[in-house]
């Protein structure tokens, strides 16, 4: 059975930490990090039609063809990535979608705990998009009170 796990949220919310923990707990899974694909691999702007959309979809379909659990993590703004996410969701047998629906204040607080950040509070505030949910029935909000470990266990053990 093919499985797609989507972990979304604003910069600094904790999604990368959770996705990496989920990846470690699911041997053989494929982790696709939006920042790695978009910024590191392609150097693309985060706008509609950017080439990272097609590349992330192709990598996810690579995992699908090998019956791997695919973990897709990133800001993945709905207006830019929503169509691609919907198309991927339709291709997989099981889909788990999670979103960090945090306030700007909580996002800024979490950002202060990062060991190395390549951006500051002003950028976070400029990039912040409130309540950018997909609106899917299976989309679940990650509680702001959960630790990264609690969120990862919840995701891994979800049916």
Q: What is the pLDDT of residues 22-39, one digit of tens each?
A: 999 999 999 999 999 999
Rounded CA-CA distance 44/61 in Å is: 21
Q: Which fold has domain 3-157?
A: Rossmann fold (3.40.50)
DSSP string, 80-109: HHHHHHHHHHHHSSEEEEEEE---HHHHHH
pLDDT greater than 90 at residue 59: yes
Please return the burial class of 40, using the count of CB atoms within 10 Å of its CB with bins 0-12, 13-18 and 19+.
exposed
pTM of the model: 0.94
pLDDT (mean) for 115-137: 84
pLDDT greater than 90 at residue 116: no
- The pLDDT value recorded for residue 56 is 98
Rounded CA-CA distance 108/105 in Å is: 5
Percent of the chain's residues with pLDDT above 70: 97
pLDDT (mean) for 52-63: 98
C-beta separation of 56 from 34 below 8 A: yes
C-beta separation of 29 from 23 below 8 A: yes
Q: Which helix (H) or strand (E) holds 159?
A: none
Nearest C-alpha neighbor of 131 from the set 102, 108, 97, 110: 102
Q: In whole numbers, what is the pLDDT of the chain averaged over residues?
A: 93
Rounded CA-CA distance 47/155 in Å is: 29
Q: Which one has a higher pLDDT value, 67 or 117?
A: 67
How many residues are listed for the chain in this entry? 159
């Amino acid at each position: 059975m093919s499985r797609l796990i989507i972990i979304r949220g604003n910069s600094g919310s904790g999604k990368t930490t959770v996705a990496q923990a989920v990846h470690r707990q699911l041997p053989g899974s494929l982790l696709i990090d939006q920042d790695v694909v978009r910024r590191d691999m392609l150097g693309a702007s985060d706008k509609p039609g950017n080439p990272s959309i097609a590349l992330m979809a192709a990598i996810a379909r690579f995992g699908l063809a090998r019956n791997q659990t695919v973990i897709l993590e990133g800001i993945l703004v709905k207006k830019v990535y929503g169509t691609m996410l919907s198309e991927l969701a339709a291709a997989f047998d099981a889909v788990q979608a999670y979103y960090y629906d945090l306030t700007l204040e909580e996002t800024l607080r979490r950002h202060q705990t990062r060991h190395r950040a390549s951006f500051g509070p002003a950028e976070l505030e400029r990039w912040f998009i409130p309540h950018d949910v997909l609106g899917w029935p299976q989309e679940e909000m990650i509680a702001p009170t959960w630790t990264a470990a609690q969120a990862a266990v919840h995701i891994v053990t979800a049916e």
